[in-house]
Chain A
């Protein structure tokens, strides 16, 4: 449904995205995960036919975004991060305008159906400027699905919503996923594991990891994660960190909280005995040494801070 090959976009000297390669199959919900400025919005804008890439190709529903942008736009529903709307228009008028623009047949029925689906029917005659953020988001979503697009591209769909609204929107996205191919971008990690079938992690314009949420967890929890609580009187935390990192099999040690260290090792190595030995030998107090599962947060942070590629499954 979506194929991206060598996609690159530069604004003068600034490289927004570089050499992206990925596919999204029909009916998948794919999450784009990355910190702000990673290139998620740029990628989405290219996929929606808004702007052309500098290099590379992107095919959406079989159409090239550069050669046939109009065909691409016909088949894509897009909700930008800012959810821009016309505040002076009523919900019904706005949806009517968008429906006309997109050549939606049976406008009235379709608008009524979409409003019902998104719980907007009671708000149909309200001015958009007067709606709460949650309702405005719904109007934004309504506009995106009005023409029954094959692909939905949602940029940070739950940003600015309260927890209740976030749950509702996520449910909605899962439902929509039954009939549409969806790409959503976010920097909220739980969102991706709850909603997406697959995750694409982007940082500084490059794709650095791609897998299912479970796959990524498994991949890097080959990947033993240990939490150690140590009291080392008279010794600085950096010193403790170095000692732990020097233990054979240990890949990385980070300070998580005062006196709490996170030790990452490969699945094959179990540094626990040697760690315990190193700590006790020096007369430090070992309060806790335990294994914990690698959360998506950890994977994400590891990948981001390491800035290295990870072999994809």
Chain B
């Protein structure tokens, strides 16, 4: 575990030196600042619900971008060879990498706390849904980042990793539509796998353990597959 921490530290340092982290964070905050104002103006409601909705959609696309370099860059530059010849387990490497991206995501979210602050000034909102909404969106982001990490583990090209990651996230999201088409029990199974449904409750102030379980499952599965991908790299 200590090794995963070491990897995470280094990756965080790398994030703060690279422009990507700053650019994505700036764009994210600019976009949501704008959306927040717009929503507030038109709805006149002291709620974060709609904004969380925007965030989930935006995250589908930026999570893979944040995660694209995690393993792909190590493959490309050859530094993977030093990591894989160190007394470091493959899962520790993947875990450390993913955790770094999650910390970055947490920092981005921390900045968005200005919005609830404004709501507080405006007219105190219902805090329950705000808190649960943040928990939900955080886990949602972490799950998407796990998918992005998986994509990054599959290629040495960062662009391909970003695109592949987006295919994973968007794919999992639109599964909802497919679910509806199928009907019957199959429809419910497919809809459960889809991301969309699991974000609804959080924004309404409900922390449903099924949703928690779902997010955890996505994270575990994606990171497990990413570890396998790294193992396969060794063979080459």
Q: What residues make up the interface of A, taking CB atoms closer than 8 Å to B?
A: 11, 45, 48-52, 70, 73-74, 76, 78, 80, 82, 84-86, 88-89, 93, 97-98, 100-103, 143
Contacts and interface: CB of A to CB of B under 8 A. Distances in A.
B85 A101 contact: no
Task: Count chain A CB atoms within 10 A of each CB in B77, B82, B85 and give the residue with the most.
Answer: B85
Nearest to A155: B81
Given A51-B234, A97-B6, A100-B6, A86 B79 contact: yes
Interface of B: 2-3, 6-7, 9-10, 13-14, 17-18, 77-89, 234-236
A258 B10 CA distance: 60
A52 B89 CA distance: 15
A108 B3 CA distance: 18
A80 B87 contact: no
A97 B5 CA distance: 11
B64 to A, nearest CB: 22
A313 B17 CA distance: 56
A5 to B, nearest CB: 21
Contacts, number: 66
A84 B86 contact: no
10 contacts: A51-B235, A73-B88, A78-B81, A78-B85, A84-B77, A86-B77, A88-B18, A89-B13, A98-B82, A101-B3
A266 B7 CA distance: 60
Contacts of B83: 101
A86 B9 CA distance: 14
Given A80-B78, A97-B6, A49 B85 contact: yes
Nearest to A73: B87
Q: Which 7 A-B pairs have the closest CB atoms?
A: A84-B78, A84-B79, A100-B6, A48-B85, A74-B87, A73-B87, A51-B234
A70 B86 CA distance: 8
A93 B13 contact: yes
A51 B78 CA distance: 15
B234 A103 contact: no
A184 to B, nearest CB: 16
B81 A73 contact: no
Contacts of A100: 6, 9
A137 to B, nearest CB: 14
Contact of A101 (B14, B81, B86, B236): B86
Contacts of A80: 78, 81-82
B81 A85 contact: no
Contact of A102 (B13, B17, B18, B86): B86
Given A70-B87, A73-B87, A100-B6, 20 more contacts: A11-B235, A11-B236, A50-B81, A73-B86, A78-B82, A82-B78, A84-B77, A84-B79, A84-B80, A85-B79, A86-B79, A89-B13, A97-B10, A98-B86, A101-B7, A101-B86, A101-B87, A102-B86, A103-B2, A143-B82
Nearest to B76: A84
A89 B16 CA distance: 12
Contacts of B81: 45, 50, 78, 80, 82, 84
